[in-house]
Amino acid sequence: MKLHQLPKINKGKKSRVGRGIAAGQGKTAGRGTKGQKSRSGYNIPRRFEGGQTPLIARLPKAKGFTARAKKPTVLNIARIEKHFNDGEEVSFKTLKEKGLVSDASNGVKILGPGKLTKNLRFSDVKLTKKLLEDLKNLKEKPKAEPEKASPKKARVTSTK
């Protein structure tokens, strides 16, 4: 089909409202009498609920902004085993020197799968629970020690 073969559509003229009584839509031009909707420039946002507390204000606030949180660079323990020798320290600085992480990294998290066989020291990096257990099973313990519980104070009872 070509442009000159398209069928003619009879649309008719656009009706001009508010142009006198004889035009059919004179005086109020179909807007009714008075009120916000009859005024010129009438436009209310779609979210407006007529003064009622808006839906967005009625809903509870979401906890945190985890979707926007910058995620750490993830490294596999097998790669670290390959690049580090026994007894070396694994930190953000040493990982950067060996080219395993970039400068714009938001921290480092080391994951399994894989077995930790070398005795490595970790600092400035996050580890999974499984890797922490593997570290404890090796000869040398990790640097981070659990906090000691504060001694309980004796409760004084009244003698009346």
Confidence of residue 134 (pLDDT cuts 50, 70, 90): confident
pLDDT at residue number 152 = 55
Q: How many structural domains is the chain composed of?
A: 1
Instruction: Examine the pLDDT at 146 and tell me if it is beyond 60.
Output: no
The verdict on residue 14 lying in a domain is no
Q: Percent of the chain beyond pLDDT 70?
A: 85
- 64 confidence band (pLDDT: 50, 70, 90): confident
**Structural domain contains residue 106:** yes
pLDDT at 147 over 50: no
Residues 72-106 pLDDT 10s: 888 888 888 888 888 888 888 898 888 888 876 68
Residues 45 and 50: their CA atoms lie apart, in Å, by: 10
The pLDDT value recorded for residue 13 is 86
- The CATH number assigned to the domain holding 108 equals 3.100.10.10
The range of the structural domain enclosing residue 101 comes to 73-137
- Inform me whether the pLDDT recorded for 53 exceeds 90: yes
Report the candidate in 107, 105, 104, 112 with the shortest Cα–Cα distance to residue 80: 112
| Structure confidence at residue 153 (pLDDT) | 58
Establish if 86 belongs to a structural domain.
yes
Whether 66 maps to a domain, the answer reads no
**26: in domain:** no
Helix (H) or strand (E) holding 100: none
Q: Is residue 124 included in any domain, yes or no?
A: yes
Higher pLDDT, 13 or 147: 13
What pLDDT, on the 0 to 100 scale, is given for residue 49? Answer: 92
Report which DSSP code applies to 89.
E
Rounded distance, CA 41 to CA 66, Å? 42
Residues 6+ apart with CB under 8 A from 31: 37, 38
Q: Which pLDDT value is given to residue 55?
A: 93
Report the sign of the C-alpha dihedral through residues 101, 121, 139, 109, in that order.
Answer: negative
Closest to 80 in 3D by CA, of 33, 125, 25, 143: 125
The rounded distance, in Å, linking the Cα atoms of 122 and 141 is 10
